[in-house]
A = this chain, B = another copy of it.
Amino acid sequence: MLDKSHMSRDEGFAALEALLGARLNRSQSDRDLHGRAEGHFALMPPDAVAYPETTAEVAEVVRICAAAGLPVIGWGAGTSLEGHAIAPRGGVCVDFQRMASVVQVQPEEMVAVVQPGITREALNTELRATGLFFPVDPGANASLGGMASTRASGTTAVRYGTMRANVLGLEVVLADGRVIRTGTRAPKSSTGYDLTALFVGAEGTLGLITELTLKLHGQPEAVSAAVCAFADMAGAVDAVIATIQSGIPMARIEFVDRAAAACFNAQSGADWPDAPHLMIEFHGSDAAVAEQAARFGEIAADFGAEGFRWASKAEDRTALWAMRHNAYRAMVAANPGCVPVTTDICVPVSRLAEAVEETAAEIAASGIPGPIVGHVGDGNFHALLLPKEGDKAEWNRAMSLAANMAERALRLGGTVSGEHGIGMGKLKYMQSEHGDAWQVMAAIKAALDPGNVMNPGKLLPGN
């Protein structure tokens, strides 16, 4: 092992090349690929991209970077929405595409151990024969390491929880190259600080996740999904609230506003009416799913739902949820020449109606396209704001709309990000949401990464 206590940047890159050979890529094209984020972020390329194959290599990369003063940024599938994985200060992007295997599946324990680079679709393909699945579904085919790092959730969190609830343990490379394990395979534990929960959602600022132990769930015996239309937004949202309060267990319940429905139609050739919609899915035994669907149908009818379309066949459900998963792309495609600005507020479900309605009214008044979709069972919704590219006035109005949404979420007891995370995009709201607790996060960061090696410029104050 090299003496890495006083390394120049050039010595750092040389050491990384000695370690990884061709698996350290410094080409402009690869750097640019890893400097781009979804959304409106400027290109911020790293100085090099590393493709480690083992935890030991990741640890050595981190040690070298720490010694040479090079930032270290993890990269999964590049699908994050807040610029989490771009490199505002250069440094080394650690791309986990060569650490993307299922290490172990233990069906009788309902546990899978995976490497961080595997995507959720690849994992579920491997699990298919076991009768189990990993339920967290943020829409994009994200990597599990990235999903853990952003505390992702998505359409199924209303039933199965977010990554917070579905990661049992982690292997993490710390900023000094030490490798630790957090958590166990047992369903619960009370042995000290919940480090698993600390690293889930830390956005790579405290260490790099090199292995995840995941909780699996049984594939439901029966699944039934439907979409239905409402005369107005209030009817749809109130139907959600009533359904939740009735205790009907839903696997998914998604709101799609009129503008978003139009984008879905344009993208997929569907013929949804020009109205707000709810998409819903139930998981359970045949009898339970039938009962739940019937009860939901009655509640929704009370709020004016019409045109129910049930998708009991797997291929119909796949087509239905593909529309929802492609929402971002459909909205961007329907608004050529616009810059997508994502929003992601989450409020108590009882405040959802006012949050959505105030937001929709303000967007309508702004003249900027802003279709709304939401994981409304969790009180979480997104307006995709689409100001015209190069139109400074529209950009500023979009920023005001986003800021007002954040302020609204906090006023209603909620949060400025339900699932996308902070990255660089939502840094400006952290002080308002957390106050002094943000300084506590900074103290933890300073304790575990005093050199600010891990993903600097994200999540934390003055960073």
List residues of chain A with CB under 8 Å of any chain B CB: 106, 108-111, 150-153, 157, 161-162, 164-165, 174, 178-182, 184-195, 197-198, 200-202, 206, 218, 220-221, 241, 245, 247, 285, 287-288, 291, 344, 346-351, 378-380, 409-410, 413-422, 426, 429-430, 433-438, 440-441, 443-444, 446-448, 459-460
A110 to B246, CA, bound (A): 12
- A182 contacts which chain B residues (CB < 8 A)? 437
Q: Which of B106, B191, B241 contacts A426 (CB 8 A)?
A: B191
- Check A351/B109 contact, CB under 8 A, given A422-B192, A444-B448: yes
Alpha-carbon distance A186/B355, docked complex (angstroms): 12
A398, chain B: closest CB distance, angstroms? 21
Report whether A437 and B187 are in contact in the complex, using a CB–CB cutoff of 8 Å: no
Contact partners of A350 in chain B: CB under 8 A: 106, 108-110
**9 residue pairs A–B, Cβ–Cβ below 8 Å:** A109-B350, A151-B188, A153-B188, A157-B188, A180-B434, A188-B380, A189-B415, A194-B197, A194-B201
Collect the chain B residues with CB atoms within 8 Å of residue A415's CB.
184, 186, 188-191
- Find the B residue at minimum CB distance from A287: B291
| Central interface residue in A409, A413, A448, by most chain B CB within 10 Å | A413
B164 touches A194 (CB 8 A): yes
Chain B residues closer than 8 Å to A161, beta-carbon distance: 165
Closest chain-B Cβ to A358's Cβ sits at a distance in Å of: 16
Q: Which residues of B contact A151 (CB under 8 A)?
A: 188-190, 194
Q: Which residues of B contact A201 (CB under 8 A)?
A: 190, 192-194
Contact at B437–A188, with CB atoms within 8 Å?
no
Contact A440/B430 with A157-B188, A415-B186 known, Cβ cut-off 8 Å? no
CB distance from A136 to the nearest CB of B (A): 11
Contact: B111 with A348, CB < 8 Å?
Answer: yes
A391 CB to nearest B CB, Å: 30
How distant is A53 from chain B, measured CB to nearest CB, in Å?
23
List the B side residues contacting A165 at CB < 8 Å. 161, 165
A421 to B245: give the CA distance in the assembly, Å: 34
- Tell me whether A434 and B187 are in contact (CB under 8 A): no
Report Cα–Cα, A188/B108, bound state, in Å.
29
Distance in Å: Cβ of A85 to nearest Cβ of chain B: 15
Q: Which residue of B lies closest to A410 (CB)?
A: B184
Q: State whether A195 touches B437 (Cβ < 8 A).
A: yes
Contacts known (A184-B413, A185-B348, A349-B109); A440 close to B190, Cβ less than 8 A: no
**Using Cβ atoms and an 8 Å threshold, which residues of chain B touch A221?**
247
Q: How far is it, in angstroms, between the C-alpha of A444 and the C-alpha of B139 when the chains are bound?
A: 34
> Residue on B with the closest CB to A111?
B348
Complex CA gap A63/B111 in Å reads 45
Among A151, A188, A192, chain B packs the most CB atoms within 10 A around the CB of A192
Q: A42 CB to closest chain B CB, in angstroms? A: 23
Q: How far is the CA of A218 from the CA of B221 in the complex (A)?
A: 25
CA distance A152 to B447 in the complex (A): 28
Answer whether A188 and B444 are a contact pair too, CB < 8 Å, given A164-B194, A193-B198. Answer: no
Known contacts A218-B247, A419-B188; is-contact A193 B441 (Cβ 8 Å): yes
Q: Judge whether B440 and A448 touch: CB under 8 Å.
A: yes
Across the interface, which residues of B come within 8 angstroms of A287, CB to CB?
Answer: 287, 291
Residues of B within 8 A of A192 (CB): 201, 422, 430, 434, 438, 441, 459-460
Task: Give the residue of B153, B178, B186, B218 whose beta carbon is less than 8 angstroms from that of A348.
Answer: B186
Instruction: Quote the shortest CB–CB distance from A197 to chain B (angstroms).
Output: 3
Say whether B433 contacts A191, CB under 8 Å.
yes
A291 nearest in chain B by CB position? B287
By the criterion CB–CB under 8 Å, are B109 and A186 in contact? no
Do A430 and B191 have beta carbons less than 8 Å apart?
yes
With A109-B413, A190-B417, A198-B198 given, name 20 new contacts (CB 8 A): A106-B348, A109-B351, A111-B348, A151-B189, A164-B188, A165-B165, A180-B440, A182-B437, A185-B347, A186-B347, A186-B415, A189-B346, A190-B201, A191-B433, A193-B206, A197-B197, A218-B245, A220-B247, A287-B291, A447-B447
